[in-house]
Structure 1
């Protein structure tokens, strides 16, 4: 079980990166005190520590936690955390979340008024490229190693790089591009097209499948099923990314997921609590431990910022601070049968449904989805008063159920409507406790799937991508409160389906061109 991350000195990592120019000489430095890949990686355990740092780039933001030795300068460590900024981009920009704080440009996300100079957009772009850079160095250091464990580490590093590049495809389209073939040195990375990056990530995921561990071989590590889920995500969104439908391909890889050792948990909440590592539904998590993975981003942000006012932090979550920032809009709440759907995890006491002022925490229902208590209500293992044990469910089986149903409805072959209906109703039976919430075949439509994805997956980092795929993220066909910075919502510009390449990146790299209309 990988619930904590080993540390490796950032000096060591940077020295390894700079030492790549030695290349084929295969020499060790004359100065035995100089740290390079040749003397950092002596044993399999050393390589595993290096691999842990790659996983940690998604969960943490520096070398000591929760702050003090940041990976990236120029932004507060908590703000600059990968998962925190990814979540903000995917959720605050939609009907699922608003934030009351006045931190820099954060409210521009929900208003859809961001610009290329936005500090938070720059942060997620930098985090993506940081993960890519560290992965490249580890991939180079493990290339050709015949040790079975290290060969698996190598494949996992390629998966993590593919995951980061997958986020770049989705959010930025045409980022800079480097691989292990680009040795460290002074050069400007080339810009890659969205279509070419799609092809690259697809080829990487296919190539590493046989080298990854079998599903569930070790909790918290990328395995074959994680690669299948990421590949299915690429295929489901291929019409957006490359203008070519790949719904049949999505069904093919999702069928592999269904053949794995996963099942829908009996209790929906099991996926979002401090012992969610025991849920049979989680396929790939970003792991947290209150004692060993400390950050003011990630799950600490999501759990603390969703509570405040009359909602007691200590009673409901086992944590000491209520940050009082995040809520949701009526557009999400109104999709639920509040009396019968167990997924309607809203805090309404003292909260108004409608948002008259985003800056007022009591405007808008709060969310009680993520908790730092175990499923049975007991305290988390670490019982830390700030940091949490709850893992981030990046991929879980319920998402696969809904992706399969959508791919079938969009014309993918190799599946069936009957199976799609069964997979959807499996989730609704869990939500309602019986078959009373089941839908009929006639009710299984794409519009229903979009709403059901909101009900099942809200706040899990999927919504912006889903709305873009359905053609309603921007424009005026679907409005929600404060979209476009208007209480009733207004149409927004379609070029915002992509984020801009950050201005700082454009200024530093003459090979980059800005996305259209920014």
Structure 2
């Protein structure tokens, strides 16, 4: 079904929820008089709580766009999960730079961050907050709790599916922790609520936990393509398993490429199709314009119902400046921040007049070479995301501040490219099938077969560049570069290392530090090597 699931700002919260691993994660209940008993007197509360779990990826509080934050003491725009995750995955790479001087934001692209970096600290806090929310939802939906409330069998069956979705969302957050921090604190619904110091989990053990959680819900969550748009289903589980397995050698030292073949094949066979027009994937109506047939798991946004200064508001507004016209993007203003490097641009042949329709770049008035990272016109701008529909009509918000555009966290094109990469890395599968998948993407990009490659051109180096061309600004790049050993010691791009020409950095920066604020509180934690 394709009616859009919007993670509404819900006037609902459970006062039994406490976070014990952060000194700065202070929860602010909407109504401190509510208890779990009174809240769950309303059967709809289970769905509202689930909506809050989904909202954790797009929103930052109880009242959009700001006013009642989830995390006390943090700016709601900067503390948005999706905004921070985008920054960690893109600003640290060749795909994005930002011209602002907010705190230590430029240290992300320079790769000279410390354990005191406030943006790293805040994504860490946001991840652990999402885990804490999910843990409480699972506590409140255990069978004993449901029996005590007299929940009937029909609602119990529905709640079973909700629990599977909640476990997926927790696995997704723990995957982000695994990928970015390696060895985070670890808490589940089995741990006590209240103040205690969580133990630290090692990266390989967290990998095994996430894998086991996903495998356990594979048969409980909604069948692929049967759930409401915007909610997780089997295909989302298979995609997350594929992401886990393709990076397994980085996370555990043991490759799992045959498992990538298995789970990407499940996704590919689930009935998704490549959207004929690449640009449709990134428009305000990408939930209904055909893009929904390719997008497997989106982070949904709505200009009226999910207003936030993070997420897609940030990604769209911050990418507009110079000679760009905000109205062409369906928004009221540009924030003149995000651009890209010449090294990324060079992935496209003749980028200013490219036949590759994926080269959604703005070069008018922009210098390809970045001489001053603070100057918006240094570096090509990226015109990939827009708050307009296929007819050019702006999104629903009359102010032009908040977009309707959904963020495509997982989509079929990524499954195609992971399958091809796993084949090249010895995971089995079919080389001819891998070539077919890659050329299907290139046929869309070139509006025909002129961009097709031969089997001899299908190499790992090609795959890394093709992932850049196909998936840029979709929060994959940092993880991809690490897997290809191009993130720190080898790859060079403008202002990496803090110098205009770029330089290599030390390999310990392949994972971020545990924030010093948490190390000072939790004596069970040991800092990651190098920090």
TM range, smaller chain: over 0.9
Listed one character per residue, the Cα deviations across residues 386-428 of structure 1 (whole Å, up to 9, x for unaligned) are 0000001000000000000001100002x11000000000000
* Aligned ranges 1:142-161 → 2 under 5 Å: 142-144=141-143, 147-161=156-170
Structure 1 residue 143: Cα displacement: 2.0
The C-alpha deviation readout for 1:315-341, integer Å capped at 9, x for no partner, is x11110110000000111111023210
- CA distance in structure 2 between the partners assigned to 1:438 and 1:242 by the alignment: 35
| Distance in 2 (alpha carbons) for counterparts of 1:19 and 1:334 | 45
- The aligned runs of 1:153-302 (5 Å cut-off) are 153-216=162-225, 217-278=227-288, 279=291, 280-302=293-315
Deviations 1:261-282 (A, max 9, x none): 2100000011100011121111
Alignment partner, residue 441 of structure 2: 427
Question: Partner residue of 1:398?
Answer: 413
- 2: CA distance, partners of 1:4 / 1:70: 19
**2-side partners of 1:162 and 1:43: how far apart?**
28
By how many angstroms is 1:383 displaced?
4.5
What residue in structure 2 maps to residue 17 of structure 1? 17
C-alpha change, 1:335 and 1:170, in structure 2 (3 Å) is: same
Matches within 5 A, 1:446-465: 446-465=460-479
User: In the alignment, does 2:481 pair up with 1:482?
Assistant: no
* Residues 275-301 of structure 1, C-alpha deviations (whole Å, 9 max, x = no match): 111211110000000001011000000
TM-score by length of 2: 0.92
Q: Within 2, Cα distance between the matches of 1:362 and 1:8?
A: 41
Q: How many residues align?
A: 502
1:405 & 1:99 partners in 2: Cα distance?
A: 32
Q: 1:36 and 1:163 mapped to 2: Cα distance?
A: 28
Change (3 A) 1:451 1:19: closer
Structure 2 gaps of 5+ residues are 21-31, 147-152
Mapped partners of 1:213, 1:384: distance in 2: 37
Q: Give the structure 2 partner of residue 106 of structure 1.
A: 105
User: Where does residue 29 of structure 1 map in the other structure?
Assistant: none
Please state if 1:364 is matched with 2:373: no
The answer to whether the 8 A contact 2:167-2:213 is kept is: yes
Deviations 1:105-161 (A, max 9, x none): 000000000000000000000000000000000011112355221111111111100
1:215 Cα deviation from its structure 2 partner: 1.9
Point out the more displaced range, 375-384 or 238-247.
Answer: 375-384
Give distance in 1, aligned partners of 2:239 and 2:399: 32
Alpha-carbon contact 2:178-2:207 (below 8 Å) kept:
yes
CA distance in 2, matches of 1:258, 1:356: 43
Work out the CA distance in 2 between the residues paired with 1:252 and 1:184.
38
- CA distance in 2: counterparts of 1:418 and 1:41, whole angstroms: 54
How is 1:134-149 mapped onto 2 (pairs within 5 angstroms)? 134-144=133-143, 147-149=156-158
Q: Distance in 2 between matches of 1:383 and 1:218?
A: 27
Between structures 1 and 2, the one with greater helix share: 1
The whole-number CA distance in structure 2 between the counterparts of 1:436 and 1:7 is 47
Distance in 2 between the 1:385 and 1:275 partners?
15
Mapped to 2, the partners of 1:517 and 1:479 lie a distance apart of 21
Question: How far apart, CA to CA, are the structure 1 residues paired with 2:379 and 2:195?
Answer: 50
| Contact 1:44–1:149 (CA under 8 A) maintained in structure 2 | no
Distance, in Å, in 2 between the alignment partners of 1:3 and 1:219 is 6
Unaligned runs of 5+ in 1: 21-32
CA distance in 1, matches of 2:136, 2:275: 38
Q: Retained in 2: the 8 A contact 1:195–1:241?
A: yes
Q: Secondary structure at the match of 1:284?
A: strand
1:192-242 deviation line (CA, Å, top 9, x unaligned): 000010000000000011111122221000111001000100000000000
CA distance in 2, matches of 1:19, 1:299: 28
Q: Distance in 1 between matches of 2:414 and 2:76?
A: 30
Residues in 2 aligned to 1:177 and 1:136: alpha-carbon distance in whole angstroms: 11
SS of equivalent to 2:303: coil
Question: Following superposition, which runs of at least 4 residues in structure 1 exceed 3 angstroms of deviation?
Answer: 6-10, 381-384
Larger mean Cα displacement after TM superposition, 499-508 or 144-153: 144-153
CA distance in structure 1 between the aligned counterparts of 2:192 and 2:250, rounded to whole angstroms: 32
